[in-house]
Amino acid sequence: MPNTIHSPGQVLNAPPRKQAKPPGPCAMVIFGAGGDLTKRLLVPALYNLATTGLLPEHFELIGVDMADLDADKWRDSLHAMMESFVGKAASESRIDKVDEDTWKRLTGHMAYIRGDLNDEGLYQKLKQHIDQPSDTGGNCLFYLAVADRFFGPVVTQIGKAGLFEENWDQDGKAPEHWRRVVIEKPFGHDEASARSLNASILRCAEEHQIYRIDHFLGKETVQNIMALRFANGMFEPIWNRDRIDHVQITVAETVGVESRGRFYEKTGALRDMIPNHVFQLLAMVAMEPPAGFDAHAVRSRKSDVFSAMRTIAPGCAVRGQYGPGPDGVPGYRQEKDVAPDSAIETYVAVQVAIDNWRWAGVPFFIRTGKHMSRRVSEIAIRFKPAPFAPFEDTNVAALPPNWLLLQIQPDEGIALQFEVKRPGPVVDLAAVRMAFKYADWFPKEPNIGYETLIYDVMMGDQTLFNRADMVEETWRVVGAVLDDWTKEKPEGFPNYASGSDGPAEADELLARSGRAWRPVMDKAEGRAEG
Q: How far apart are CA 525 and CA 433, in angstroms?
A: 9
Q: Is residue 272 involved in binding ligand BG6 (CB under 6 A)?
A: yes
Q: What is the distance between the alpha carbons of residues 332 and 334, in angstroms, rounded to a whole number?
A: 5
In angstroms, how far is CA 42 from the centroid of its own chain?
A: 15
Residue 186 beta carbon to ligand BG6: minimum distance, rounded to whole angstroms: 8
Please return the burial class of 314, using the count of CB atoms within 10 Å of its CB with bins 0-12, 13-18 and 19+: middle
Site string for ligand BG6, 70-99 (x = CB under 6 A): ------------------------------
CB of 262 to ligand BG6, least distance (A): 13
CB 345 within 8 A of CB 332: no
∠ CA 59-62-63, rounded to 5°: 150
Q: Least CB distance from residue 282 to ligand BG6, whole Å?
A: 16
Rank residues 158 and 338 by Cβ distance to ligand BG6 and give the closer one: 338
Order of strands, edge to edge, in the sheet holding 179-183? 110-114, 59-65, 26-31, 140-144, 179-183, 210-212
Pick from 60, 65, 253, 304: which binds ligand BG6 (CB under 6 A)?
253
Binding positions for ligand BG6, 197-216, rule CB under 6 A? 215
Pairing assessment for the beta strands 59-65 and 26-31 based on DSSP bridges: parallel
Query: DSSP 3-state assignment of 240?
Result: coil
| Least distance to ligand BG6, CB of residue 273, Å | 6
Per-residue mark of binding to ligand BG6, 420-439 (x: CB under 6 A): --------------------
CB of 31 to ligand BG6, least distance (A): 18
Query: Taking a C-beta distance cutoff of 8 angstroms, is the pair 347, 496 a contact?
Result: yes
DSSP 8-state class, residue 188: -
277 is catalytic: yes
Binding mask 124-163 for ligand BG6 (x = CB under 6 A): ----------------------------------------
Q: Which residues pair with residue 366 across a beta bridge?
A: 249, 350
Q: Are 441 and 8 in contact (CB under 8 A)?
A: yes
Q: Could you tell me how many residues of this chain bind ligand BG6 (CB under 6 A)?
A: 4
Active-site position among 208, 277, 296, 371: 277
In the complex with ligand BG6, which residue's Cβ is closer, 131 or 258? 258
Q: Residue 411 Cβ, how far from ligand BG6 at the closest point, in Å?
A: 14
Q: How many CB atoms neighbour CB 77 within 10 A?
A: 17
Residue nearest to ligand BG6 (CB): 272
C-beta closer to ligand BG6: residue 208 or 262: 262
| Separation CA 312–CA 476 (nearest Å) | 9
Residues that bind ligand BG6 (CB under 6 A): 185, 215, 253, 272
Supply the residues annotated as catalytic. 277
